[in-house]
Structure 1
Amino acid sequence: MSARTESSRVAAVGRSLRWGARVRTRGLDSQTGMLILLSLVAVVCCLGIVYLDRYSPVTLLVVPLLVASLLLGPRTLPWFVVFVLTLTVLAVVGRRMRDVDISPASVTGIAMVFLLGLVVLLMSFRRSRLGVAGLQGESMFVDLRDRILNQGGIPMLPRDWHVQSELRSAGGTLFAGDFVVASRPAADRLEVVVVDVSGKGEQAGTRALLLSGAFSGMLGALPPEAFLPAANEYLLRQDWEEGFATAVHLSVDLATGFFEIRTAGHPPAVWRAAGSGRWSVLGSEGPILGLIPGAEFAVATGVFSHGDAVLLYTDGMVEQPHRDIDLGIDRLVGEAESLLRGDFQDAAKRLVDALGSRNDDRAMIVVHRL
């Protein structure tokens, strides 16, 4: 390595360190400026409560308190809450010094300010685990959500291939335990994985965020037969109490139409042969990911002819309480025959609208060769 190259790398590291220092300084200046501004607003509210008692209720101090809960970080927010509660006490004392009676409504307002201050303090202590203010934390989660949705985006494909995806979460939120990862690691190869993470609610959503990033990296770097074993070992290393997942993996040669499908404790793929127009289940078996070390996964193979299609989905599409899952798969096949007869426009969306439990996450992928 030449001295010039070494010096350029040192200079680059120095620029990065200086940039990081400027970012931290700007963040600190922003928090300090916001703290000063909100403190001035709180002082003005306190003076209004004392000297304009007919027009300024004690609950006026709730306004800077609520704004601070959204904008201040967990280090400065507790001190601001203490400051506001102190101003509340001073406002009451100031009214008494001016011989203003404290009505029952004012007493209730004072209690509300202290109660809200306690709630904001508890929120601040919880946020201290993350280290950012409320709006910043929300923006981080939105960014993570966008990343997981982008990883499920279908890459550009040749004209004779059409892939549709639809993802619905229980309760209508954009965080779900079901997710899709798609990759085109080579010009003639498409890889698609549909995953259902164990658990419900935010716990399943956070695990899905982590697994989507890991699976996305493995999907593009490993041969098709190695993906599910690698995903299984990855989950085993996490050592989660409820750390298992089911998955179905499709690998397609876009030039020849040859495909491989492997499942891991997941509902089987559904296949449509254009020649006969019949839909059938593709049997491929494998254990759930994250439970058995060294697990092996059977493969189902076939060839896409023009007009053929395959459906990949999660159990939310076919599973209902007190009903066998095989009956749900049969209903999926029947709906596919009815809804997609000669028309695959918005196929994934129409199937999700027609099937599945609204109390469970649902994902559907339709791969169709035109």
Structure 2
Amino acid sequence: MCPLPAGLPLPGGPMIRAGRRWAISDTGIAVILGLVSVAVVIGIARDPVDVPLNGVFMPLILGVLLLSSRTLPWFAAFVLVTLSVGTWLQETWTTRMFTAVVVMYALTIAVIVVARRRSQLGVGPTRGETMLVDLRDRILAQGEIPTLPDAWLVQSALSSAGGSPFAGDFVVATTSDHGKRIELVVVDVSGKGEAAGTRALQLSGAMGGLVGALSPRQFLPAANDYLLQRHWEEGFATAIHVSIDLESGAFELRCAGHPPAVQRHAGSGRWQVLRAEGPVLGIVDDVDYDCYAGRLDPGDSLLLYTDGMVEEPRKDIELGIDRMMGTAEALLRHTWDGLADRLVDAVGSPDDDRALLVVHRRP
């Protein structure tokens, strides 16, 4: 049996040492806050006039922020006991004091009920929020553009419905074939905002692994199989995938029920809608996706986007695509810097999630 490292107490103790850092465990926080409540009760016993009863309630507020949902109900029950003792020690009563006591009792009981319902999560609100921020960052990390040759510029932009940090649209970007190709995927999960955020997280991780491990022809069928296996209640998504040869500019484009990509030809200055047919992901088994083969010549550009960029109520999507291309052309007259962000801000509905990828081959 291996001995415990020096300086590390037995499991369950309130203090845990890691190197030179000390971290207070959940139990330790509860003990400290409980001692504060007891100290307030002792103060009330010695001077019930000058020591306010609501001082007993202050540790509960801190406990709601710091304690896990497993520890919080027991701590709230302890606060309920100290609150009862403090109430019993009061010498004089007023209507205002009676109302305050009733409110504190009601809030303490509400904390116990809510904490017990959230006990399956096992973390407190502050820690839970930290976890959600980490999950959001993981979604965004899937869309980080890898280092590319100087001849290529790739930009991405995301905007969620109502300004929420979570969205059902996401981007996956990675290189393949020893850095000779870049794989770009834009996905729109059913739903929007926070409701689609959890599904987007799970799907982005899966797609990030699939797109780098499979050939371009195999990627969308594999993603479709993955979604079918999940059996989600709203288990469908649209996606568009482009695989670009960074040496020649040749690309393969495949679409799964997604709005078509658009290409700007530098020679003519015209925009072309690139249509590749295929059903949405997660609906039909054993499907193939048509391939559109093209080329990005020096100066050409390619836009991949979600329907939030081009769909508006009671308007044809073709009109939205035309508007997006016209706005992009106007923005290109200034500079390429931040084009994706500027275009997302300029078009689309703020009530829907929006994602955009801009690919440009420098002349």
**TM-score, normalization by structure 1:** 0.89
Structure 2 Cα separation of the partners of residues 141 and 27 of structure 1: 28
Is the Cα–Cα contact under 8 Å of residues 155 and 359 in structure 2 kept in the other structure? yes
2:170 paired residue among 171, 179, 188: 179
1:27 to 1:133, Cα distance in 2 relative to 1, 3 A: farther
2:36 paired residue among 32, 41, 55: 41
Describe how 1:156-195 pairs up with structure 2 within 5 A: 156-185=147-176, 186-195=178-187
1:78 aligns with 2:64: no
**In the alignment, which residue of structure 1 is the partner of 2:18?**
none
1:140 aligns with 2:169: no
**In the alignment, which residue of structure 1 is the partner of 2:275?**
283
Structure 2 Cα separation of the partners of residues 24 and 192 of structure 1: 50
Is the Cα–Cα contact under 8 Å of residues 193 and 353 in structure 2 kept in the other structure? no
Structure 1 residue 237: deviation in Å?
A: 0.4
Structure 1 residue 63: deviation in Å?
A: 1.5
Structure 1 residue 180: deviation in Å?
A: 0.6
For each residue in 1:238-290, what CA deviation from the matched residue of structure 2 results, as whole angstroms up to 9, or x when unmatched?
01111100011011000110011111111110110000011121111111100
Structure 2 Cα separation of the partners of residues 51 and 322 of structure 1: 72
Secondary structure of the corresponding residue to residue 291 of structure 1 = coil
Is the Cα–Cα contact under 8 Å of residues 170 and 358 in structure 1 kept in the other structure? yes
State the one-letter code of the partner of 1:163.
Answer: V
Is the Cα–Cα contact under 8 Å of residues 254 and 289 in structure 2 kept in the other structure? yes
Tell me how many residue pairs correspond in the alignment.
350
State the one-letter code of the partner of 2:87.
Answer: V
For structure 1, the residue ranges without an aligned partner over 5 or more in a row are: 1-13
Describe how 1:236-315 pairs up with structure 2 within 5 A: 236-315=228-307
**In the alignment, which residue of structure 1 is the partner of 2:61?**
66
1:181 to 1:27, Cα distance in 2 relative to 1, 3 A: farther
Structure 1 residue 300: deviation in Å?
A: 1.3
Structure 1 residue 55: deviation in Å?
A: 4.1
**In the alignment, which residue of structure 1 is the partner of 2:313?**
321
Structure 2 Cα separation of the partners of residues 121 and 336 of structure 1: 54
For each residue in 1:103-128, what CA deviation from the matched residue of structure 2 results, as whole angstroms up to 9, or x when unmatched?
11111211221222123223312331
CA-based RMSD of the aligned residues comes to 2.1
Structure 2 Cα separation of the partners of residues 222 and 357 of structure 1: 34
Secondary structure of the corresponding residue to residue 25 of structure 1 = coil
1:303 to 1:88, Cα distance in 2 relative to 1, 3 A: same
Q: Answer with 353-362 or 131-140: which moved more.
A: 131-140
Is the Cα–Cα contact under 8 Å of residues 280 and 333 in structure 1 kept in the other structure? no
**In the alignment, which residue of structure 2 is the partner of 1:207?**
199
Structure 1 residue 47: deviation in Å?
A: 3.1
Structure 2 Cα separation of the partners of residues 356 and 25 of structure 1: 54
Structure 2 Cα separation of the partners of residues 18 and 219 of structure 1: 44
Structure 2 Cα separation of the partners of residues 325 and 27 of structure 1: 62
**In the alignment, which residue of structure 2 is the partner of 1:57?**
52
State the one-letter code of the partner of 1:166.
Answer: A
1:334 aligns with 2:329: no
State the one-letter code of the partner of 1:298.
Answer: D
1:272 to 1:298, Cα distance in 2 relative to 1, 3 A: same
**In the alignment, which residue of structure 2 is the partner of 1:222?**
214
Structure 1 Cα separation of the partners of residues 179 and 216 of structure 2: 15
Is the Cα–Cα contact under 8 Å of residues 73 and 131 in structure 1 kept in the other structure? yes
State the one-letter code of the partner of 1:250.
Answer: V
2:94 paired residue among 95, 103, 106: 103
Structure 2 Cα separation of the partners of residues 125 and 249 of structure 1: 44
Is the Cα–Cα contact under 8 Å of residues 250 and 261 in structure 1 kept in the other structure? yes
Secondary structure of the corresponding residue to residue 283 of structure 2 = coil
**In the alignment, which residue of structure 2 is the partner of 1:25?**
11
Is the Cα–Cα contact under 8 Å of residues 70 and 116 in structure 2 kept in the other structure? no
Is the Cα–Cα contact under 8 Å of residues 187 and 237 in structure 2 kept in the other structure? yes
1:366 aligns with 2:358: yes
Identical-pair percentage: 52
Structure 2 Cα separation of the partners of residues 27 and 364 of structure 1: 50
**In the alignment, which residue of structure 2 is the partner of 1:113?**
104
Is the Cα–Cα contact under 8 Å of residues 279 and 337 in structure 1 kept in the other structure? no
1:196 to 1:52, Cα distance in 2 relative to 1, 3 A: farther
